[in-house]
Amino acid sequence: MKKNLLIALLMTVVTTVLLGIIYPLVVTGLAQLFFKDKANGQLIVRNGEILGSRIIGQAFTGPAYFHSRPSNAGSGYDAANSNGSQLGPTNHALIDRVKADVAANQADHPGEPVPIDLVTTSASGLDPHITPAAAEFQVARVAKERKASVEEVRRMVQQHTEERQFGFLGEARVNVLKLNLDLDAKFPKK
């Protein structure tokens, strides 16, 4: 019995050191060596300041910016509380929120249908992308606020449109943070 207890204790210590310390350090080291950008959250850094991440959405509310999808993650885009609303399609709170979002979006485009991703949240609540249709819907407002032509802003949207991964996975998408940062650089708010 003593021998079995000693073997069990030694196996616990060895596996704890091997799998709890050495393995995580090796994997972290390899990730930092070969995939540094991805391992560190794909951060966007300019002039030594972290502006955001390419893979986590941010709230943009001013009329001079393209707006992201709504977020239910915590108080909005909170990675510690990544989650959708968990409200079903017949839930009155969800229906009322979507109606309010549609009305707010139609203020600049009366009578036009609002792209679905501007009024619905993603499953994680952290989606950094919108569809090209959602970006196109906002082009006129952003161009007007930045005193730029609609065509110039539309060209920027097209430059930031990412096609399907490998040509068949997912849908075309526009990274809102990267687009807004480039807009700030090319057409600073006046």
Specify the pTM. 0.78
The whole-number pLDDT of residue 161 equals: 95
pLDDT at site 75: 67
Place of tokens 């990675």: 79
* Residue 69 to residue 41: CA distance in whole angstroms: 20
What local confidence, expressed as pLDDT, does residue 85 receive?
75
Q: Are 153 and 139 in contact (CB under 8 A)?
A: yes
pLDDT score at 94: 87
CA-nearest of 43, 68, 41, 44 to 57 is 68
Could you tell me which of 36, 41, 39, 43 has the C-alpha nearest to residue 181? 43
Residue 44, SS3 per DSSP: strand
- Terminal CA-to-CA distance of the chain, rounded, Å? 80
Backbone angles phi, psi at 81, to 5 degrees: -125, 40
pLDDT along the chain (190 residues), means of 10: 92 96 94 87 83 84 90 75 80 90 86 90 84 95 93 96 90 94 86
Residue 190's pLDDT is 62
Which is it for strands 161-162 and 129-130: parallel, antiparallel or unpaired? unpaired
How many other β-carbons are positioned within 10 Å of the β-carbon of residue 127? 21
- Give me the pLDDT at residue 82, please: 79
Q: Where are the beta strands (DSSP E) in 64-172?
A: 129-130, 161-162
